[in-house]
Amino acid sequence: MNRMEETKGLRGRTDIHFNCCQSVLVPFADACGLSKEAAYQLGAHFGAGMKHGSTCGAVTGALMALGMAGADNNAALELMRRFREHNRALDCATLLRMAAERGEERKCHCDRMVYEAVELLEEQLEKK
């Protein structure tokens, strides 16, 4: 199973909730030198924009993974630039507001943010 398949599996689980940050970070635990449990715990309080609408948890999880994998500052800046370019914002509150204005359901929107963050993260780690 590749990382995107694992991410989609986590987002589909109903027995345990994986927030946006955890959904990005857990599949990359091995690249970060972490166990999946440690990655799950690390991301626990970073969903929903650090629980108050700040930076999207999917972006936060990707940045954590980049840092733990030893990627440089340019990789982080590039990931954020591309995410913002595609979604017009980095903060959860704005992203959710724009999704609601488009009529996009919250779960579908958050899944899409997570999947995009995973794709961008994979690209940055391949360049490392």
Query: What does each of the 128 residues of the chain score in pLDDT, given as a tens digit?
Result: 999 999 999 999 999 999 999 999 999 999 999 999 999 999 999 999 999 999 999 999 999 999 999 999 999 999 999 999 999 999 999 999 999 999 999 999 999 999 999 999 999 999 87
Q: Give exposure, 45-69, as e/b (b: 16+ Cβ within 10 Å).
A: ebbbbbeeeebbbbbbbbbbbbebb
Q: Give exposure, 111-123, as e/b (b: 16+ Cβ within 10 Å).
A: bebbbbbbbbbbe
Q: Locate tokens 């780690």: which residue? A: 125
- Two structure tokens written together for 21: 């940050």
DSSP-assigned beta bridge partners for residue 55: 91
- Two structure tokens written together for 34: 């972490």
Domain boundaries, the chain: 3-127
Q: What is the reported pTM?
A: 0.96
Query: Closest by alpha carbon to 79, among 66, 92, 88?
Result: 66
CB 58 within 8 A of CB 20: yes
